[in-house]
A and B are shown apart, each in its own frame.
Chain A
């Protein structure tokens, strides 16, 4: 450590470092003042995670640029080396200063939080020590990494890129899970929850990495009398830029190819009844109320129908399909499982429920299979109605479904926009949305001969999926396909579709009249400055009984798009004058999806009376 060098660094960087501390001071103050919004695990100290994340990333990068990268970039380290000062002490001074500068805002924020939290929380010294270690270690790790990157000079940006690619490749190609190692464990969901046990494994890993990177830093600075670090700090030549760009592009290609070539084993459901659909297994397991014979029958049926779908659309191959019975789901709610290490489509449904409708289930399963075969391309919003409609129609292609018309009537009662299908889907629910889309398919089918419709379906649902921009550009557009078949524009199709739906509404006017007599309402009521409750109520007009209904709710993340029905929490209630209170409290700034729905036996579907997203004011 050199006091003179410390003074120089302070003089050179004081503006930036003061600004950094002021920014974090403001951030800390905002966090403390808005504690309720951020502290969801019962302690205000959880807020410390936010500055820890910022200091270990953006701030560490900033400080490393100021203290390390600039020194070598301007070649002023040559001047320092001519002074009576060793290279090791220069680096040690910078590393300690940088660490101190980054830890200072963390400590100050921690102290501010502690002074506030201790008034109404029991904060043991052990808990504070655990918390301090969990917050400070990632900051030091981030700082050491950024300092090392600074010493790597012109190769630091390629290093960041390669690190990102390596993590991406590890995530895609191996069982490595970034959320379960080192700093992500320390700043994980139990950050302020764990009060007794030190996360020694993660701490040990991080400190080993910190010490390792510090050793590499000293190695770089001292190796060949610092000429290596000096060499690395020089500007990149054009040839190097081209070379590194080629390496990066090559790596991206290799990772993509390896990822595409990676053959995950088809999912195997042990002790399940199995049938084959075009060579792919369809497995159905038995369960309580769902015998092996039932499972075998369902497996055979699904295999036959999937085989027919595959032949009709010309699918190259089908995924392994597994179906598991689960009693906890509603009969009309189906759930697809996420598979990490195996390949296939695994779905769960309440197969034993008397209200379980195998046709609706098949429509859902066909959707999942088409999503799998198209690698998700069919999920794009502009063609999503095609997926919903075709699968609903295909599942009932051999029979006249008496419930289709009333379903369409109810689903279209507030008009709809096929181009904003996800909005329509959330508003009416997947069951009615499927029926409404199926009406669009029947309208289209009525205007085309079998062969034309068949080719249209193949092009829209079984087109070999492209990826990225090329896939987007090369995929067939519905507008073009319709014009090629002399059906006019997409808008004209939608007009005909709306006309057909209005005819359904005319037929089922009584049902719509009955629904219009129901008056749902949702009110967010303040309980304190920061907390709120939801009151919901369903009233019938005049003497019309409101009946039973369910309130479904989900606290939304910042980027939540579609919410699966099984992810919604459910509260059953009876319509009355008095409001019902949602047991779960709401906090200021949260975003929620609230759905009020009522089962209608004549539809075999729940009718969504209200579906709206709300931000708690």
Chain B
């Protein structure tokens, strides 16, 4: 009983914190435990409370960013932090090409640029676990991964071409109030480089063979994992300076909870 009362007090404090900590354009994500497709040792992982951007970062927002931080402009960005296709859909340092929509998610950005963007807003990139935790929901359920409709929708998107040119916020938001985790672009995560699928390290060879094993991913019971499987495979193949047409990002923010 005492424990319950204590829990309630903590909850109230946390809730109040959350009211204060709420930032514009972000929603509160209540942490929890879940089993990711591909977590640490394939066991349950724990995600703390955090705020997440409602939308992916848009072209327009990135235009404002590079105007303020010239080192991320197309002609000024250094090779250590970018490859040749960085912002290749921009006509110059400050403007998008006319064919691009300001309200489409920004793409052709490297991990370094995405990371710095978030840090300059006092935020950070989400971890793989955080991103997947929020992304496993549909409009009404926090963990919709077992629903055939959830997976069908995501896989239908994976087949749709040029979805990066669509606008943000046009498909329904998920149960947390977050838009476009699926359907527009892939998104950078802070620790994308924690996905080891190359087998360079002897320790991960066994575990990661799961990821390459076709039978495991095509199997009917694992269809729910197929979409996630593709995301992990993409992460495993990325290099932080790559910029790609269908890879954008959004930011999250820690919530300062007194412990």
- Indicate whether A and B interact: no
